[in-house]
Amino acid sequence: MRSLFTPRKALVAAAIVTSLSLTACQAPQKQAQAAQQPAATASESKPADSRLTQREISAGLYEMAYSPAAGGLYVASAQGFKTSNGGVIYRLDPKTLETVSETHTDLKNFGVAQDADGSAIYITNTVDGGITKIDAQSGKVLQRLMFKDRSKKGDALGSREILAHDGLLYVGGVGDPGVIWVVDAKTLKLKTTIKNAGKWVTGIIWSPLTNKVYAANGGGEILVINPRSHKIEQRWTAGDDKQYLFLNLAEDPATGRLFVTDNSKAKETLVFDERSGKVIKRLPGDALAVKFNAKRNEIYISQRESKKVLQLDATSYAVKNSWSFDSHPNSLELSPDGQTLYVSVKQGLDKSHTAKGPDSVARIALN
């Protein structure tokens, strides 16, 4: 049988996930027995911090979503880029990190979002330029949409980040120029395409303060988008003429601050004032994912290169705590009560862009 994941796709995938690291045909969902799964075993070494537990899952872990409705932590996996054609969506017990169920997909999975009521999970299939809708309770694949936009070389534009808001999905297309697809979340039909979104659309969030959609791109811009007209109304920059590759976003709506990471060029987290669009603070250090926790007034930043996760006071920006890992912390997710932080931890790649071992998920009790 000919492999569906061609060498060219493997190279494209490696380029996307290493430079932007974060982010149907389906086998039936199966109940997992953790003790019988060699691909998902408990980590042998206990972390020094008793508040942190970590468990190996599989290769190719990326983003996560905590679904209160399903009572589980969903983790998107692309699996191996050379040995596997498809991917897996893992549903983990949020307390023990044991695998509750698996959904095997024919495409590789990266970004994750969910409906407001948690009934549906949306996955980006970055390499193939599509999105998949999954029932949160059963794990069944419900719908699939493949975008038709192509790069100058004929490759699909990578669908990286996905935002679910007000019955719509906003999906960032990694291209030069990039696009943002606006999709009906119920029907998974494309409603419109926001074009000229800059090089490589990366992070996307909605602001309850301004009722705008913010999108970051690899050209160092924050796009301010009207969710009614789907027009780009403003383009914010750092204002210093330096090069930036903005990645992920988080917001403190109470103070009107937007946190933006740059893990490639600037190696810092920038804080924008949403009222002026100006940078009001810079937090030095490599930065990949960022989360704001209103319940604790804290900021969390994953440092892939430094192999750390930082816990900062959101008012003073002082580092309250940090957790060190043997490999590379990637994506972050918070529990609904704001008292638990989840981290996807990736292994390094060898010269052939193959992971050196299985990725893992860490659970940090913040109390």
DSSP 91-159: EE-TTT--EEEEEEESS----EEE-TTSSEEEEEEGGGTEEEEEETTT--EEEEEE---B-TTSPBPEE
pLDDT over 80 (residue 35): no
DSSP-assigned letter for residue 11: H
173 close to 157: Cβ distance less than 8 angstroms: yes
Q: Which domain holds residue 172?
A: 7-28+54-365
What is the band of 48 on the pLDDT scale with cuts at 50, 70, 90? low
| Apex 287 CA angle, 281 and 292, nearest 5 | 65
Residue 230: strand, helix, or coil = coil
Q: Given this model, what pLDDT does residue 84 score? A: 77
Say if 247 falls within a structural domain: yes
247 close to 288: Cβ distance less than 8 angstroms: yes
Q: Given this model, what pLDDT does residue 1 score? A: 32
Q: Given this model, what pLDDT does residue 356 score? A: 79
What is the band of 13 on the pLDDT scale with cuts at 50, 70, 90? low
Mean pLDDT (whole number) for 345-361: 83
Q: Given this model, what pLDDT does residue 326 score? A: 95
Tell me which residue of 308, 66, 65 sits closest to 300, measured CA to CA.
308
Say if 334 falls within a structural domain: yes
Say if 46 falls within a structural domain: no
Q: Tokens 């989840």 belong to which residue?
A: 342
pLDDT-above-90 percentage for the chain:
77
pLDDT over 60 (residue 239): yes
* Side-chain-side CA neighbours of residue 40 (13 Å): 26
244 close to 265: Cβ distance less than 8 angstroms: yes
pTM: 0.88
pLDDT over 70 (residue 260): yes
pLDDT over 80 (residue 155): yes
Q: Given this model, what pLDDT does residue 161 score? A: 97
Number of independent structural domains in the chain: 1
59-63, 101-105, 152-156, 342-346: range with lowest mean pLDDT? 152-156
Say if 43 falls within a structural domain: no
76-85, 178-187, 348-357: range with lowest mean pLDDT? 348-357
Say if 326 falls within a structural domain: yes
What is the band of 66 on the pLDDT scale with cuts at 50, 70, 90? very high
163 close to 205: Cβ distance less than 8 angstroms: yes
Tell me which residue of 65, 82, 85 sits closest to 74, measured CA to CA.
65
Q: Give the mean pLDDT of the chain.
A: 88
Tell me which residue of 47, 61, 33 sits closest to 355, measured CA to CA.
61
Domain containing 163 — which CATH number? Answer: 2.130.10.10
Say if 88 falls within a structural domain: yes
Overall size of the chain counted in residues: 367
Mean pLDDT (whole number) for 222-241: 97
Task: Name residue 96's beta-bridge partners.
Answer: none
Say if 34 falls within a structural domain: no
Query: How far is 339 from 25, CA to CA, in rounded Å?
Result: 37
Say if 48 falls within a structural domain: no
What is the band of 47 on the pLDDT scale with cuts at 50, 70, 90? very low
What is the band of 19 on the pLDDT scale with cuts at 50, 70, 90? very low
